[in-house]
Amino acid sequence: MNELMLYISVFVGAAIPVLEVWIAVPLGVIAGLPWFPAAVAGFIGNFLSLLPVIYASEKVTAFVRRWVKKLKRMI
């Protein structure tokens, strides 16, 4: 497997947050990648997969606050 495919595999594997540290990066290192670039690819994959979650949590929090405020007015 060429090196680019290994980095892509680490990147995609790290998109699943639990797999980054425990599986994706170590498998990349075992497959022959240097540890630091494999860790960076894992970090970027994990970070990009968490951005929508972080963004959505802000929206959900704002919605819940509006909803609770509306419920308090009703009581």
As a dihedral over the C-alpha atoms of residue 36, residue 37, residue 41, residue 43, rounded to 10 degrees, the angle is 20
Instruction: Report percent pLDDT > 70 for the chain.
Output: 99
pLDDT at 65: 94
pLDDT at 62: 92
Task: Give the predicted TM-score (pTM) of the model.
Answer: 0.70
Rg, the chain, Cα only:
19
